[in-house]
């Protein structure tokens, strides 16, 4: 099937990097079995998705790799080069000597020779393997970003990934990286949706040439940290009904109109297709104003993973 997802240029030191503006997320809670995930990804490729977002901690790298192999085998795509694959460095491996082994482990899981984008998942380091959630605060520290970023740069220089970036980083942490980086972050993947609009961070990233990619565009419904606020929002319901669209489509279109790419997760074939149908219409000035005025509230996924620590949060 012809790919119908627009491609967005990503400003970075790696000349010519582009990425599809909608990616399929592969994190799920509760986790689905590998066979179900693989089948969903194959269906997504059939529907026109070409950007897939995974991470070591999701446990989805191997099913994604198997789905890519099947898509090639049955002719849905002709080459791996047609896909844009993002994975992430987990906090347990956020040490300079562990970064290259970690990306190689992800590549082995994916059965790939390179990633298109490799992100630092959180600006945090865990002292040992996570055995329970939330992670005890004494096992969590702020990442030594200078040494870890140098190892990320080495990943790109070695050709293990085409580009490098970060996830869940504040403008303050980005400013720190930019003060010493030889290769600046190409992307910052953060929570972004009509109820957590990230206006200041988005403007900062645009000014610095860092592309924003939005995770949790629908509020992470069904996860430990998400809820139904997006789908219960009266203003979003009104806009969706007036336009004959779903609330999900309104949210995804809103993110797109902010200049960000978006990671949307659905394993339902109909919703997968609906999530791609956001490019032949737009939100009106009045609708954008209504969304701009919505009360803001972060869904706070980090609080699900680590015990509360005011000292730690002050450094992020």
Q: Which residues are annotated as a binding site for substrate?
A: 121
Tokens 């994975």, residue located: 87
Q: Does residue 2 lie in a domain region?
A: no
Low-confidence ranges of the chain (pLDDT < 70): 1-4, 7-16, 130-133, 221-226, 299-305, 307-310, 314
Q: Does residue 66 lie in a domain region?
A: yes
Greatest pairwise CA separation for the chain in angstroms: 54
Q: Would you state the structure tokens that stand for residue 230, as one six-digit string?
A: 């997006």
Confidence at residue 1, expressed as pLDDT on a 0 to 100 scale = 45
For residue 273, the enclosing domain spans 7-314
Catalytic residues: 58
- The pLDDT tens digits of the residues spanning 194-237 come to 999 999 999 999 999 999 999 999 987 655 556 788 999 999 99
- The total domain count for the chain is 1
Q: Does residue 1 lie in a domain region?
A: no
Q: Does residue 170 lie in a domain region?
A: yes
Q: Does residue 260 lie in a domain region?
A: yes
Q: Does residue 222 lie in a domain region?
A: yes
CATH number at residue 65: 3.20.20.100
Burial of 196 (0-12, 13-18, 19+ CB in 10 A): buried
Cis before residue 48, ω within 30 degrees of 0? Answer: no
Confidence at residue 288, expressed as pLDDT on a 0 to 100 scale = 98
Confidence at residue 298, expressed as pLDDT on a 0 to 100 scale = 77
Confidence at residue 257, expressed as pLDDT on a 0 to 100 scale = 96
Q: Does residue 47 lie in a domain region?
A: yes
Q: Does residue 161 lie in a domain region?
A: yes
Let me know: does 173 contact 316? Beta carbons within 8 Å: yes
Confidence at residue 83, expressed as pLDDT on a 0 to 100 scale = 96
């Amino acid at each position: 099937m012809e790919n119908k997802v627009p491609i967005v240029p990503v400003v970075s030191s790696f000349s010519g990097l582009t990425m599809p503006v909608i990616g399929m997320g592969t994190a799920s809670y509760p986790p689905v079995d590998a066979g179900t995930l693989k089948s969903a990804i194959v269906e997504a490729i059939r529907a026109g998705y070409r950007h897939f977002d995974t991470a070591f901690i999701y446990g989805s790298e191997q099913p994604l790799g198997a789905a890519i192999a099947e898509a090639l085998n049955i002719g849905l795509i002709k080459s791996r080069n047609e896909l844009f694959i993002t994975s992430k460095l987990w906090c347990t491996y956020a040490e300079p000597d562990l970064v290259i082994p970690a990306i190689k482990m992800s590549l082995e899981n994916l059965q790939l020779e390179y990633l298109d984008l490799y992100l630092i998942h959180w600006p945090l380091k865990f002292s040992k393997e996570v055995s329970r959630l939330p992670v005890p605060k004494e096992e969590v520290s702020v990442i030594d970003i200078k040494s870890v970023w140098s190892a990320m740069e080495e990943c790109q220089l070695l050709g293990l990934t085409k580009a490098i970036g970060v996830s869940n980083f504040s403008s303050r942490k980005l400013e720190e990286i930019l003060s010493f980086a030889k290769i600046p972050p190409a992307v910052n993947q953060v929570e972004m949706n009509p109820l957590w609009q990230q206006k200041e961070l988005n403007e900062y990233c645009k000014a610095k040439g860092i592309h924003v990619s939005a995770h949790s565009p629908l509020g992470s419904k069904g996860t430990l940290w998400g809820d139904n606020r997006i789908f219960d929002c009266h203003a979003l319901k009104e806009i969706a009904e007036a336009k004959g669209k779903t609330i999900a489509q309104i949210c995804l279109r809103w993110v797109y109109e902010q200049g960000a790419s978006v990671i949307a997760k659905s394993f339902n074939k109909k919703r997968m297709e609906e999530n791609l149908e956001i490019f032949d219409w737009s939100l009106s000035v009045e609708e954008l104003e209504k969304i701009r005025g919505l009360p803001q509230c972060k869904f706070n996924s980090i609080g699900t993973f680590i015990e509360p620590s005011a000292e730690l949060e002050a450094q992020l």
